[in-house]
Structure 1
Amino acid sequence: MKFIYKLGLLAIGFAMLATLLIPLNAKANAPQTLQMHSQNGDVWDLQYRLNQMGYYTSELDGVFGYHTKRAVMQFQEDLDLAVDGIVGTQTWKSIKANSYSKAEVTHLARAVYAESRGEPYEGQVAVAAVILNRIESKDFPNSVAGIVFEEHAFESVSNGTFWDEPNATAYKAVDDALNGWDPSLEALFFYNPDTASSTWIRSREQTVKIGRHVFAE
């Protein structure tokens, strides 16, 4: 009987512990709310994204001050959100839906550099635009990493050249593509007709040829 009684107490103890842990885990997984005087890496990410969209032009310092709040409020006003200068769940969701993190921009620059170094600048912007166009398409993954690392999508990932350090030109090409320039004319694919062996890719309707690359729908 004592053994059964101890087992019962032990079960009750585990149940109480689980009850206590549920709100703690839920809180840990919840989006970080940012407001005046917040100071952490999330603030830096916020400033980076707001800068990318043209709302924040001050130093990226990871401190939520007056200029950051003004930028947040302008963003909220433009997207018809509650204009309170606080970055809660809904504001975070909208900001992330309209911008890219530094890691994502770096992935884009790596892809541009690996796939189109030596190509005309316009062609490098077009490669970045193709990746962004795929993200917007229902036929492809909806993230930079999902596009870039999709199996057999980019030869540079397969042969390892994707990890070469991109130059400033590649980053500038990404920036221009993010700002809406699309020399590919809404293409979803690109290839070098001198080396491409796939008859399928050659069957795609072409949009434009820039340098050695053909861009296609």
Structure 2
Amino acid sequence: MRKIDAELREEMRKTYVGKLMNVIRIKGFNSLKIQDMAEHMQISKASLYNYFSSKEEIIQELTGTYIAYYKEVDQTILNNEITYIDRFQKLFEQEVLTFIYISELFLEELKVGFPDLYETIISARRQRKMNIRQFYEMGMKEGIFHSLNPSIYTVQDEVMLRKLLDPAFLLEEGLTIKQVLLDYYQAKKIQVFKDQELKKMNDKSTILEKIEYLTRKLSNSYSS
């Protein structure tokens, strides 16, 4: 095994694991052999072993990537120096990306095959829900958001995104991914923010950029 600079090695590990996200979301990881993973990473099996010693290490890296993303966004939504609308948009983006990549199949296989990793990611999700609740409660306390149980927002996202982004639903209703995301964002924004806050907003350009990005991610995941 050739030696690779530690910083570069870590960067490449994240890059290669990122290439597995779509296939693992759809097929899980139990059926994937090391050779299959190498093919999805677009490297040889020998090259894969320069970065990972085993399939277990790959799953550990993938789980760690998801948890790190949770923590990164959590730090953003609880940062009072960032406007509420910017934090709201970041949370919206995370909800969609979580839907795209962290599938129930992945979690089920993780629970059976790697129970310690499963508990780690579930713990991170619990903390995330607590942070989301705190974000909404802060907005309500400051008179920015309508008063409503924050748990409703969380459950609503889980249910609505699963339905709205179902390819069969999109086809049946003649809708595009971009339009569904934009409409759902606008509907949720009106639901969360009070009228006086909505009148002061100028969020069109920033949310369109995020939705274009999310649309590309979803389109790629559907075509995988």
Q: TM-score, normalised by structure 2?
A: 0.24
* Greater fraction of residues in helix: 2
- The structure whose RCO (Cα within 8 Å, separation 6+) is larger is 2
* Greater fraction of residues in strand: 1
Rg larger for: 1
